[in-house]
Amino acid sequence: MERKPSAVLIVALILWTFGVAGTVILPLFDQEINSATASGELRNYQEDSAEARGREIYVQNGCQTCHTQFVRALPADTNQNLGPVTKGGDYKYDLPHLLGSNRTGPDLMWVGLKYNEDWQRQHLIDPQSTSPGTIMPSFDYLSNQELDDLVAYLMSLKPTEERLEEYKKELNDAKSNSN
Ligand code: HEC
């Protein structure tokens, strides 16, 4: 039987329409994805705050080319103790999104939990001094003000206390289940 090219085209078009509806249009109506989580609200920075300026510096210096901000619900991520798996609503105000796609360095979604300001500053100026052997470049050319802003941004990358407690509880439950 000979197939008509137009029939193939119509089937392809129908499949494409389903694909777009499922992955682009339907999520627009999903409240859970579209309303900010409490942790997402923490990233709703005031215009011209230190954190907002720091975020700009993060983008301008291409930090997102080596770092993701995205904890997936996969053992590869959850086994690394990166913090809570992220939800759509965490990114409500993260525009343009800094999800990243390449983890040359570790994920930074919740890095504000990990270090204090002094460590962050020292690491940006001279990464080798805090992390011997690292390939992270030095950002010592940033001005003091820019470093302050960037550190403020990095320190703000945290979940709420509640979300953190929830996460710790999940970790404990998973541990006691595996024993
Ligand atoms: C060429 C890739 C590269 C670029 C660009 C880069 N980093 Fe990194 N970063 C790394 C690597 C590798 C590590 C892991 C070793 C270390 O601590 O230095 C790291 C570690 C970090 C850590 C510690 C993370 C942790 O969980 O221990 C922070 C914070 C960080 N980078 C912030 C930044 C910021 C902010 C920028 C942009 C100003 C940036 N990085 C640019 C590669 C990069």
pLDDT in tens, 57-116: 999 999 999 999 999 999 999 888 899 999 999 999 999 999 999 999 999 999 999 999
At 179 the pLDDT is 66
Name the residue with the closest Cα to ligand 1, atom 14. Answer: 105
Distance 98 CA to ligand 1 centre (A): 14
Residue 56 clears pLDDT 90, i.e. is over it:
yes
| Residue 72 Cα to chain centre, angstroms | 10
User: Percent of the chain at pLDDT above 70?
Assistant: 99
User: Among the listed ranges 52-61, 62-71, 146-155, 169-178, which one has the minimum average pLDDT value?
Assistant: 169-178
Q: Is 129 touching ligand 1 by the criterion CB < 6 Å?
A: no
> What's the whole-model pTM score?
0.89
Name the residue with the closest Cα to ligand 1, atom 10. Answer: 105
Atom number of ligand 1 nearest to Cα 153: 35
Q: What 3-state DSSP class applies to 89? A: helix
pLDDT in tens, 105-145: 999 999 999 999 999 999 999 999 999 999 999 999 999 99
User: Among the listed ranges 18-27, 45-54, 113-122, which one has the minimum average pLDDT value?
Assistant: 18-27
48 φψ region: left (φ > 0), alpha (ψ -120 to 50), beta (else): left
Q: Is 106 touching ligand 1 by the criterion CB < 6 Å?
A: yes
**Alpha helix locations (H) across 2-157?**
5-20, 26-28, 31-34, 38-41, 50-60, 75-78, 117-125, 127-130, 144-155
* Ordered domains of the chain (ranges, CATH): 37-178 (1.10.760.10)
Q: Is 58 touching ligand 1 by the criterion CB < 6 Å?
A: yes
Residue 178 clears pLDDT 80, i.e. is over it:
no
Q: Is 63 touching ligand 1 by the criterion CB < 6 Å?
A: yes
At 30 the pLDDT is 85
> How large is the average pLDDT for residues 144-172?
96
Distance 64 CA to ligand 1 centre (A): 9
At 171 the pLDDT is 87
- CB proximity list for 38: less than 8 A, separation 6 or greater: 160, 162, 163
